[in-house]
A = this chain, B = another copy of it.
Amino acid sequence: MLLLLSNYMNKKPLILITNDDGITAPGIRALVEAVKEFGEVVIIAPDSPQSAMGHAITINKPLRVDSTDLYGDIMSYHCSGTPVDCVKLAHHQVLDRLPDLVLSGINHGSNAAINVIYSGTMSAAVEAAVEGIPAIGFSLQDYSYHADFSLCVPFIKQIVSKVLSNKMPEGTLLNVNFPKGEIKGLKVCRQAKSKWKEDFDERTDPTGRKYFWLIGNFINMDNGNDTDEAALAENYASIVPTQFDLTAYKSLDTIKSWF
């Protein structure tokens, strides 16, 4: 206990930053700039875009991780794996101590509502939370490479400050989404019931074989005013406390009654 307190008092918080858009994405650079005042920042991010990788990990091929000078004085590494691989490598191979905070993003595109289950950004944060590390995923509702992250910065500072000065509830992380444009404030929400209505664009390759591109439209099926989608629609940033215990406790008794 004394040792921990001593560590805490002597060292700045160690903040690991990752994402799923890759180490050169403007979103992660904006996040680094926004939070570097809060502690010692280390960046370990994929060397190529890993959007929609979900909680994938790399088990059938080797991983590469190499240092970069992309961030000047800030230690940074790029990794050949997924966002979750980055967190595992950071924790077990690169860092000499457990991070005090793991931040993922800022994602170019929404991870609100059902998007959370597809998101590499959020899965990196989930992986940290499984390890017991406070973690936040940040995303902006703008898929553009040249998205303007500047309006998110004061809210990121506020949220990171709160997370560093409070104890994250056990088994919980934060899924933060910012609307495009004006941000009126923060709302703590639940995940909206939603899905994607997919379609596949059918094409023919030069050899005459069919192939398909996934395309889709997001459908919000939730009229509640306490959801992340409702907050974003009113130009508020949404904060959804998120968990990785997937047990449907509300259905336990029903399923038990079947057997």
Interface residues of chain A, those whose CB is within 8 Å of chain B, are 49, 51-60, 62-65, 84-85, 88-89, 91-93, 114, 116-118, 123, 126, 130-131, 158, 162, 166, 169, 171-172, 174-175, 186, 188, 190-191, 193, 195, 198-200, 202-203, 205, 209-214, 239-252, 254-256, 258-259
Shortest Cβ gap from A61 to chain B (Å): 9
Shortest Cβ gap from A231 to chain B (Å): 12
Shortest Cβ gap from A138 to chain B (Å): 15
User: For residue A84, which residues in chain B have a CB less than 8 angstroms away from its CB?
Assistant: 54, 118
**Between-chain CB contacts (< 8 Å), 23 pairs:** A51-B60, A52-B57, A52-B58, A53-B54, A54-B54, A54-B55, A54-B84, A54-B123, A55-B55, A84-B118, A92-B198, A169-B250, A169-B254, A169-B255, A175-B246, A188-B259, A190-B249, A191-B246, A193-B245, A241-B247, A241-B254, A242-B248, A243-B251
Q: Which of A198, A203, A209 has the most CB of B within 10 A?
A: A198
Given the complex of chains A and B, what is the CA–CA distance between A118 and B53 in angstroms? 11
Given the complex of chains A and B, what is the CA–CA distance between A114 and B249 in angstroms? 16
Closest B residue, CB atoms, query A245: B191
Given contact pairs A172-B248, A259-B239, A203 touches B53 in the complex (Cβ within 8 A): no
Main secondary structure of the interface of A (DSSP, over half): mixed
Given contact pairs A51-B59, A59-B51, A244 touches B114 in the complex (Cβ within 8 A): yes
Given contact pairs A56-B54, A62-B211, A85-B214, A191 touches B243 in the complex (Cβ within 8 A): no
Shortest Cβ gap from A199 to chain B (Å): 6
Sample of 8 further A-B pairs with CB below 8 A, known A65-B212, A241-B249, A241-B254? A51-B59, A53-B56, A54-B55, A85-B214, A88-B214, A92-B198, A169-B248, A239-B255
Given the complex of chains A and B, what is the CA–CA distance between A51 and B56 in angstroms? 9
Given the complex of chains A and B, what is the CA–CA distance between A194 and B130 in angstroms? 8
